[in-house]
Amino acid sequence: MSDTHSPDNSQAAAESPAPDAGVHASGPRSDRSDSQIPGAPPMNPYLAGMFLGLTLLASYLILGVGLTASGGFARMGAWLEHKLLPARVETLVSIASWFPAPLSSYLVFMVLGVFAGGLLSALTAGRMRFTVERGPTATCSRRLILTLVGGLLAGFAASLAQGDVLGQGLSGAALLTTGGFVFLGCFLAAGYLAAWAFGRQWK
């Protein structure tokens, strides 16, 4: 709420991320002190949200579909499974239709775009750090195990609901579809409940 961050920020920005990156990658030396997220301060969230909304609007007007990332990862999963167990995949009703080329889908390209956009922005703002983000008291392995479990649940849920919090929640709700709001409501309810139970990892 205050605007007093600018001195820190200029300092952080001055420490160019490129030389640091290797050091961080080799060891989690600076993680303990990482209570402040490095690099330039983020943009005003309301303005960033407005730009995100305009991106979503453009996506709808040009592509006819909303923003989503989970669909692309589901495609990658199908591709991976096909590499390992080709015969098995043909029998799976929900994904058999993605073949023969599960990756040549706009969903995958959108995810690649998200990654590229994030990469470029993080590099230019000096927020690039090879690190495992975690709370001050959580161990690295505990954090990664919780993350993996969370990812499993999220990937499963996104397939079940045909979209994640951005694809189903944001994109669906922006068109005022009932399903989008149902998803968002249940997401928030379960999230607060779970944070109350598992939130310690960040304290």
User: Up-side HSE of residue 41: CA atoms within 13 Å toward CB?
Assistant: 13
Gap between the Cα atoms of 170 and 135, Å rounded: 28
Nearer to another protein, 29 or 199 (CB): 199
Rounded to a whole number of angstroms, the minimum distance from the CB of residue 136 to another protein is 10
Gap between the Cα atoms of 51 and 3, Å rounded: 22
- Give 187's contacts (C-beta < 8 A, 6+ positions apart): 165, 169
Gap between the Cα atoms of 124 and 98, Å rounded: 36
Rounded to a whole number of angstroms, the minimum distance from the CB of residue 19 to another protein is 14
Gap between the Cα atoms of 195 and 132, Å rounded: 19
Rounded to a whole number of angstroms, the minimum distance from the CB of residue 14 to another protein is 16
Rounded to a whole number of angstroms, the minimum distance from the CB of residue 188 to another protein is 7
